Amino acid sequence: MKILVTGAKGQLGQTIAGLAQNYPSFDFDFKSSSELDITNAEAVKALFASKSYDYCINCAAYTKVDLAEQEIDLARKVNSIGPKNLAAQCKLHDVVLLHISTDFVFDGFLNEPYREKDIARPLGFYGDSKYKGERYIAENLPEHFIFRTSWLYSEYGHNFLKTMIKLGDEKDELSIVYDQLGTPTYTEDLVEVMLHIIELGSTAYGVYHYSNEGVASWYDFAKEIFDVSSTNVRLKPILSAAYPTPAKRPKYSVLDKSKIKGTFGIAIPHWRDSLKKAVGALKKESV
């Protein structure tokens, strides 16, 4: 099974690489953004013409939510045009595309977990660019899986977990927003589900929501990080209005996972349990 992984240097790509040895029947071809610029249609075309793939996992993404409000063109190219280029070549070469999207396609005004069929209304350009990428894929390639996920973190790359641990070592007190609710998601859990779906050879294509179980505010997430890592820092809960950002964020972006659990018969870990695994992995790295 030949699998192309784009965005190989990001935290999802690195997570797949870290788990690759557990899947001996999979032949992964990892491409970083410097090795494959998915916004370059000719480069994508040339790669697919030169190599044969069964699946493509698109981990390439522009994820700087606030900066996207300024770097509109770059965010659009990576999050919208890039997936379109991949979908075009996947269709031409009979390749199944797995693509990662975001809870930020929703406006956060719903008071219950978002389902796949709920209307997407992004508040900022990051969410808008990701949703356009979804649409390009759906309109051009029937053989696709789109995974909307939330609050990704891992022992790799830049993310909230690593930022909090760094700040916790440097500061005595931190102010963290407590009026934005969602679900922290460990990349390893998401990757395991995607690779499980490939193992199944499933043709149940479409959009799926995946995050860990449970609900948290950023304050809750930070507190648990410090508790699990035994970091002594005072936490002050603040409202979003006290910490204004260039991009608006959904106040509530919890995802309903009924569809993915029912379709593939999977059990999803609670975010607190997965966080313990991630902190343990980070501690091993630092030894």
Evaluate whether 231 touches 167 at the Cβ level (below 8 Å).
no
Q: Which backbone phi and psi does 283 adopt, to 5 degrees?
A: -65, -40
Classify each residue of 84-108 as buried b or exposed e, where b means 16 or more C-beta atoms within 10 Å of its C-beta: bbbbbbbbeeebbbbbbbbbbbbbb
Beta strands in 76-190 (DSSP E): 96-102, 144-149, 152-153, 173-177, 181-182, 185-186
The strand pair at 27-31 and 55-58 is best described as unpaired
Q: Measure the CA–CA gap between 165 and 149, rounded to whole angstroms.
A: 23
126, 136, 186, 210: the active-site residue: 126
Residue with tokens 């032949």: 27
Tokens representing 219 are: 């304050």
Separation of first and last alpha carbons in the chain: 35
- Strand order, beta sheet including 2-6: 27-31, 2-6, 55-58, 96-102, 144-149, 206-209
Catalytic residue list contains 62: no
Q: Which backbone phi and psi does 198 adopt, to 5 degrees?
A: -65, -45
Residue type, 273: D
Active-site annotation, residues: 126
